[in-house]
Amino acid sequence: MYEQEKQEMIETALEMKRNNLIALAGGNVSLRMPNGDIIITPSGMSYEIMPPDDMIVFDKDKNIIEGTRKQSVDTPALFYIFDNMPEVNAILHTHQPYATAVGLVSDELPACLTTLANATRGAVTVAPYSPPGNLSMGQLTVDYIGDKLAVILKHHGVITVGKDLHEALYAAVYLETSSITYLSAAGVCEPALLTEEQNAECVAVWANVGQ
């Protein structure tokens, strides 16, 4: 069941790793299907050797209908995001170091680069601390993400969302590269930021990229 989608999820996780957004078996990838079924990567499995059958498939009532591996401890939080953000079909959870570092020194990664505006729709908010495996991770994501595609979880990592895996992945990668640039500039002086008009223009332009 859903073999192609499962393989795309594995490729997404490997791309997260290639971009240094996760280490070892960290983070997770989840995907909502058109019929309401949800696929989530299992707990503590290396993505390099993960076969598609290791994925856990839940029906719309949250019952496991496929998969025997241990489910991710973040499953309740991921369900909460899906339940409260009907426009979201893909969720990535990472522990990317530079975006997480921004969360230790600021309440927001401001709109400082065109790529950040492109991929996340602008400034990314830092949500309060939520322990791993706690429902509050999902609740705080919904409360703090606003109309953006990413939120930084203080002391923890990042959640990105999208209409598909591609959109969520681009949000995660460009959030990280923007965080690197922002922190580098902040070590010299107060970084220059995009205006609201410039940010809106970048968001609008990105809507037509790749189509």
Percent of the chain with pLDDT over 70: 99
pLDDT at 91: 98
pLDDT at 16: 98
Distance CA 178, CA 109 (A): 9
Tell me which residue of 109, 99, 108, 118 sits closest to 199, measured CA to CA.
118
Question: Has this prediction a pTM greater than 0.85?
Answer: yes
- The single-letter code of the amino acid at 84 is N
Alpha helices by DSSP H, listed for the chain, are 3-18, 75-84, 97-105, 114-120, 136-144, 165-186, 196-206
Q: Is the pLDDT of residue 211 over 60?
A: no
pLDDT at 210: 63
pLDDT digit string (tens) for 100-116? Answer: 999 999 999 999 999 99
pLDDT digit string (tens) for 177-195? Answer: 999 999 999 999 999 999 9
Q: Is the pLDDT of residue 123 over 80?
A: yes
Distance of CA 156 to the CA centre of its chain: 13
- What is the arithmetic mean of pLDDT over 160-176? 98
Q: Is the pLDDT of residue 121 over 90?
A: yes
If pLDDT is split at 50, 70 and 90, which confidence band does 207 have?
Answer: confident
| Mean confidence (pLDDT) of the chain | 96
